[in-house]
Structure 1
Amino acid sequence: MFLSRPALAAARRAAASPIIKRSFTSSFVRPAPTPASGSNDGKIKKFEEIKSESDLVGPGAAVGAVPTDLEQATGLERLEILGKMQGIDIFDMKPLDASRKGTLDNPIVVKSFGDEQYAGCTGYPADSHNTIWLTMSRDRPIERCPECGNVLKMEYVGPAEDPHAHDHGHDAHGHGDGVHNYEGEPKTFADFVRPEYR
Structure 2
Amino acid sequence: MFLQRSAVAAARRAAVAPVLRRSLATSAVRRNALPDQPKIKTLKDVKVDEDLIGPGARPGTVPTDLEQATGLDRLEILGKMESVDIFDMRPLDASRLGTMSNPVMVRSAGDEQHAGCTGVPADSHNVIWLTMSRERPIERCPECGSVYKMEYVGPAEDPHAHDHGHGHGFEEPKTFADFVKPTYY
TM-score, normalised relative to structure 2? 0.68
Unaligned runs of 5+ in 1: 1-40, 168-183, 191-198
Cross-structure match for 1:96: 92
Judged with a 3 Å threshold, the aligned counterparts in structure 2 of structure 1 residues 138 and 82 are, in CA distance, closer, same or farther, namely same
Aligned: 1:116 with 2:107 = no
Cross-structure match for 2:135: 139
Deviation at 1:187, TM superposition (A): 2.5
The one-letter amino acid paired with 1:162 is D
Cross-structure match for 1:151: 147
Higher percent of residues as helix:
2
TM-score, normalised relative to structure 1? 0.63
Deviation at 1:157, TM superposition (A): 0.5
Seq. identity, %: 72
Count of residue correspondences: 135
Judged with a 3 Å threshold, the aligned counterparts in structure 2 of structure 1 residues 154 and 50 are, in CA distance, closer, same or farther, namely same
> What is the RMSD computed on CA atoms of the aligned residues?
2.3
| Greater gyration radius | 1
Deviation at 1:108, TM superposition (A): 0.1
The one-letter amino acid paired with 2:181 is K
Q: Secondary structure at the match of 2:154?
A: coil
Deviation at 1:185, TM superposition (A): 3.8
Cross-structure match for 1:53: 49
CA–CA separation in structure 2 for the residues paired with 1:165 and 1:91? 21
The one-letter amino acid paired with 1:148 is C
Superposition map of 1:156-171 within 5 A = 156-165=152-161
Cross-structure match for 1:187: 181
CA–CA separation in structure 1 for the residues paired with 2:94 and 2:62? 43
